[in-house]
A and B are shown apart, each in its own frame.
Chain A
Amino acid sequence: MSVPTLYLDKIQQVAKVSEGKAKKLMETCVWCLVSSKHANGVSLDVIDDTATVPYLLSWPKQLDFEAINRSVNQDDATEEGAEAIALLVAVDRTDFTAVERATTSTGIDYWLGYKDNLNNPFKRAGRLEISGILKESDTNTVKARTKTKLAQTLPSDSTFSVYVVIVEFSRPYATMVMKK
Chain B
Amino acid sequence: MDVSAADLQPDSFEELAMPLFEQLYNFAHWLTQNRDEAEDLVQETYAKALKGFVSFQPGTNFRAWMYRILRNTFLTSRTGLKATMTMPLDAEEDGPELAVERETPETILFERSDRELLQGALDQLPVHFREILLLCEVEEMSYQEISVALSIPMGTVMSRLSRARRALREEIRKMQGAGAKA
Asked if A and B bind, the verdict is no
